[in-house]
Amino acid sequence: MNTKHSLVMGAVAYAPKVVTIWEGFKAFFHERGLDFDFVLFSNYERQVEAQFEGQIQVAWNSPLAWERARRMARARGQSVQAVAMRDTDCDLHSLVVVRADSPLHNLADLRGKTLGVGAIDSPQATLIPLDHLRQCGLVGGRDFRVRRFDVLGGKHGDHIGGEREAAQALLAGEVDACCMIDGNHLAFGLDGTLPAGSTRILATTGAYDHCNFTTSPNAPTEAIALFTELLFSMRWDDPMVRPLLELEGLREWRPGRISGYDMLSRAVDDEEFYSQDGHILPADYRY
């Protein structure tokens, strides 16, 4: 084994397709000289901790996992890097959605109402939307009630069950508004969860970024360089590669950037999710 070109990656098993995806990537990397393997975790919290325990050299991290890794590294005098992300990870938005016939027409109308959110650890359906409302002067638990649809904690919202349940509760009249990422608003319209014309958008957050490949402290430089080089070489028009890209939801890999995480970092502080050194704060968080 050439340790300079050996790499073990961590990924979270949020759906059965995850095995198919990374087995395909493993074959792709092996054919091109990278001795690659992967370890699956049931949740992102364990995965990030494994990065600092030396079990994995790189992780396919959610934005919230990136934020925890960044905080842990800074507190320990170490560093982690976001080396690659999907084209579909860039410049996303979350929405506050109401029923089409709702009497709510602006955010001020949410006062005294009930807002449905996703899982406790969902950046897109909980943390970022609540931060957006806070910046607009509305604080959950003070100005409006928050009803959390806490599906599969530890998956950081990758399992969209919480968003779907919140959307269903909206249509059933159980909540006055709900939060979701813009892509799921579209998807729920296509799959019938939210029939055409049944909802309208009350508010849209600023743009933010989603997942990235996060290096672990002291990750092997040459192996990471080859890993990213091979990622960037993947082409949508390659019939052997395209199925893998489709499964992972992208058309091309892009260099990692961290400018799109500022909003989430602020939300993590305001909602008291992680401490500055990456400790988990909510007592009712189960993962």
pLDDT in tens, 51-65: 999 999 999 999 999
* pLDDT (tens place) for every residue of the chain, 287 residues total: 455 678 999 999 999 999 999 999 999 999 999 999 999 999 999 999 999 999 999 999 999 999 999 999 999 999 999 999 999 999 999 999 999 999 999 999 999 999 999 999 999 999 999 999 999 999 999 999 999 999 999 999 999 999 999 999 999 999 999 999 999 999 999 999 999 999 999 999 999 999 999 999 999 999 999 999 999 999 999 999 999 999 999 999 999 999 999 999 999 999 999 999 999 999 999 99
Would you state the pLDDT for residue 1? 45
Domains belonging to the chain, first-starting first, are 3-89+209-270 (3.40.190.10), 94-204 (3.40.190.10)
Would you state the pLDDT for residue 5? 75
What gap in Å lies between CA 181 and CA 246, rounded to an integer? 20
Contact call for residues 63 and 232 (beta carbons, < 8 A): no
Contact call for residues 160 and 178 (beta carbons, < 8 A): no
DSSP β-ladder status, 58-61 and 212-215: antiparallel
Contacts of 45 by beta carbon, 8 Å cutoff, 6+ apart: 65, 68, 154, 280, 287
Contacts of 26 by beta carbon, 8 Å cutoff, 6+ apart: 36, 37, 38
Would you state the pLDDT for residue 11? 98
Contact call for residues 236 and 163 (beta carbons, < 8 A): no
Per-residue b/e over 60-73, b at no fewer than 16 CB within 10 Å?
Answer: bbbbbbbbbbbbbb
Contacts of 251 by beta carbon, 8 Å cutoff, 6+ apart: 87, 88, 236, 245
Q: Which helix (H) or strand (E) holds 178?
A: strand 177-181
What gap in Å lies between CA 98 and CA 175, rounded to an integer? 9
Contact call for residues 68 and 45 (beta carbons, < 8 A): yes
Would you state the pLDDT for residue 2? 52
Contact call for residues 12 and 46 (beta carbons, < 8 A): no
Contacts of 63 by beta carbon, 8 Å cutoff, 6+ apart: 123, 156, 208, 209, 210, 211, 212, 261, 264
